[in-house]
């Protein structure tokens, strides 16, 4: 009579938790399985664990510091002894390090309608940003890159000082910062047909009319005050009248 008694195979393998969400570059808390049945003499995993993680061939413990990003993936853990095998499933996700310390330098922009702005590029810490967003929408003519976070362009409308929230995201999370943008009218550019006038007391001058390019003029002024008898029109910049006093070239 020949009798052979084999060890009971491993059974009821449990990892707690069985779903792991890890962060790239951050050491995970070691997860050691519990089993019933016979003691496992070897452990293996299929497919290979993410780079930086390892499984103990003697205890089945999963540990390490992940160095690669992966979406949720099922890994089959197999425990073996002379009596047989049993398996368990562990799901692992490795997220990137969340962005942080987002900054535009400067973060306050005073622009002129019709003038190209200097491209504003953000800096940040943490993992690579995969998407950028801004709220509310930028003034017409300005653009925001959802891949780099750059603000650029030539504003085509006047816009009062407005605060914009820029958010940067990746699989690890998101962070935000504030920028303030104001778009003023284009600076006026004025000229007069004549820049020198020699006239006489009591002689009415031909009205001197300015031309203006650039942004529309909101107000006109002159300094110093014109000689008595001459008038400066603060609504359109015209100079007219009849001088009544002698005045040196001024």
Q: Give 110-140 pLDDT, tens digit per residue.
A: 999 999 999 999 999 999 999 999 999 999 9
User: Rounded to whole angstroms, how far apart are CA atoms 244 and 250?
Assistant: 16
Above 90 in pLDDT, residue 4? no
Above 90 in pLDDT, residue 5? no
- pLDDT confidence of residue 24: 95
Judged by phi (left if over 0) then psi (alpha if -120 to 50, else beta), residue 193 lies in alpha
Q: pLDDT tens for residues 175-210? A: 999 999 999 998 889 999 888 999 999 999 999 999
Q: pLDDT band at residue 76, thresholds of 50, 70 and 90? A: very high
Quote the percentage of the chain above a pLDDT of 90. Answer: 93
Read off the pLDDT of each residue in 223-234 and give the average, rounded to a whole number. 96
Q: pLDDT band at residue 6, thresholds of 50, 70 and 90? A: confident
Above 90 in pLDDT, residue 23? yes
Q: Tokens 């002689």 sit at which residue?
A: 203
- pLDDT confidence of residue 213: 86
The answer for residues whose C-beta is within 8 angstroms of residue 82's C-beta and 6 or more apart is: 6, 7, 38, 41
Above 90 in pLDDT, residue 56? yes
Q: Cis bond leading into 106, ω under 30°? A: yes
Mean pLDDT value across the chain: 95
Q: pLDDT band at residue 49, thresholds of 50, 70 and 90? A: very high
- pLDDT confidence of residue 199: 93
Instruction: Compare 143 and 82 and report the one with higher pLDDT.
Output: 143
pTM of the full structure: 0.76
Above 90 in pLDDT, residue 214? no
- pLDDT confidence of residue 194: 84
DSSP E strand stretches across the chain = 10-14, 19-23, 34-37, 42-46, 53-55, 62-64, 70-81, 84-95, 100-103, 108-112, 123-125, 131-135, 142-144, 151-153, 159-170, 173-184, 189-192, 210-213, 230-232, 239-241
- pLDDT confidence of residue 209: 94
Q: pLDDT band at residue 31, thresholds of 50, 70 and 90? A: very high
């Amino acid at each position: 009579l020949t009798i052979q008694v084999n060890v009971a195979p491993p059974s009821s393998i449990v990892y707690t938790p069985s779903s792991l969400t890890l962060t790239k570059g951050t050491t995970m808390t070691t997860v050691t399985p519990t089993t019933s049945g016979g003691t496992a003499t070897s452990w293996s995993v299929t497919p290979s664990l993410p780079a930086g993680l390892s499984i103990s061939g003697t205890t089945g413990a999963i540990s390490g510091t992940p160095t690669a990003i992966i979406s949720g993936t099922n890994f089959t853990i197999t425990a073996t002894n002379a009596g047989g095998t049993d398996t368990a499933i562990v799901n692992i996700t490795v997220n990137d390090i969340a962005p942080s310390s987002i900054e535009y330098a400067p973060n306050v922009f005073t622009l002129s309608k019709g003038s190209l702005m200097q491209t504003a590029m953000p800096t940040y810490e943490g993992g690579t940003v995969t998407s950028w967003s801004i709220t509310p929408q930028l003034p017409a003519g300005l653009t925001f890159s959802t891949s780099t976070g750059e603000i650029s362009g030539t504003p085509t409308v006047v816009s009062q000082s407005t605060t914009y929230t820029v958010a940067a995201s990746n699989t690890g999370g998101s962070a935000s910062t504030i920028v303030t943008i104001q778009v003023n009218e284009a600076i006026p550019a004025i000229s007069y047909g004549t820049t020198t006038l020699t006239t006489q007391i009591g002689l009415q001058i031909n009205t001197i009319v300015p031309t203006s390019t650039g942004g529309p003029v909101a107000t006109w002024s002159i300094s110093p005050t014109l000689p008595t008898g001459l008038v400066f029109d603060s609504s359109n910049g015209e100079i007219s009248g009849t001088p009544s006093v002698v005045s040196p070239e001024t």
